[in-house]
Copies of this chain bind each other. A is one copy, B any other.
Amino acid sequence: MTLLDGRPLAASLREQVASDAAAGPAPVLAVVVATDDPATEWYLGSIAKAAAAAGIELREERASDAPGVLGRLDALSADGLVDGIICLTPLPTGLALAEAGLRIDPLKDVDGASPLSLGRLASGLPAFAPATAQAVIELLHFAEVPLTGAEAVVVGRSIVVGKPLAMLLLAEQATVTVCHTRTRDLTAETRRADVLVAAAGRAHLIGPEHVKPDAVVIDVGTNEGPDGTMVGDVDTAGVEPVAGLVTPVPGGVGPVTTAVLLRNVVSAARRE
């Protein structure tokens, strides 16, 4: 049994969040949505449910184009009643997440979407990391995986996961390699990893041949499988006999991400 289940950690985080949220006025999370993509709606639903359970008020703001999104982010940043702001993807054509992120007040940037948050994170200044990247670190701590001097390999260089996670892993004293689509020999890179994080967005990219025996494998992927189910970047069944630990999809990074996001909202609300 080498599955690293994220749900017990998520439950304990959510419990703490609910207790902290109850200690004052209900924190308010604003969500800007500019799509009717079913996966986004599903994610929004799961945030709404978790927020309600934690005593966090959700404010949903719909926009239909780039100026609409930017206008809402400006208004929410200026709104003293809003504690945290997230902007769901996909965004309207032509609007990069980093551009949108620039319009989120860094103190309310609970999903680390702003380039300023990323730069602060890289510089060792207080900042919210993207919840997914932070969730990976929380899972590694939860499983008591030694990170100092560890060989960490991240597959994927997005600004939502790969790059901020590289910064977080460096701060944990790991030696960090970032791989991507142009990496020459992915298998050789990943087989060096004590800690392998798959965040490439390609279903079952990582198989047993990519994994060093006893490595810890964290699967950030949430791809749509052939039958409409959610599948990760890791062939979990194949990798499980080789790895020391591997997170399942669903039930690994996902629930921890939602809990971390809500924790950030409470932190943002309680900062003053």
Residues of A within 8 A of B (CB): 96, 98-99, 101-102, 114-120, 122-125, 148-151, 157, 159, 163, 166-167, 170, 173-180, 182-184, 189
Select from chain B the residue with minimum beta-carbon distance to A153: B177
How many identical chains are in the complex? 2
Are the C-beta atoms of B157 and A170 separated by less than 8 Å?
yes
Q: Are B118 and A98 in contact (CB under 8 A)?
A: no
Which residues on B sit within 8 Å (CB–CB) of A189? 175
Contact status of A149 and B119, CB under 8 A, knowing A167-B163, A170-B178: no
List, in ascending order, chain B residues with CB within 8 A of A176's CB: 177-178
- How far, in Å, is A41 (CB) from chain B's closest CB? 26
Pairwise interchain contact B119-A114, C-beta atoms closer than 8 A: yes
Q: Is the beta-carbon distance between B149 and A182 smaller than 8 angstroms? A: yes
Tell me which residues across on chain B come within 8 A of A99, comparing CB atoms.
Answer: 125
Give the distance in Å from the alpha carbon of A176 to the alpha carbon of B117 in the complex.
22
Residues of B within 8 A of A114 (CB): 119
Partner of A149, one of B124, B148, B183: B183
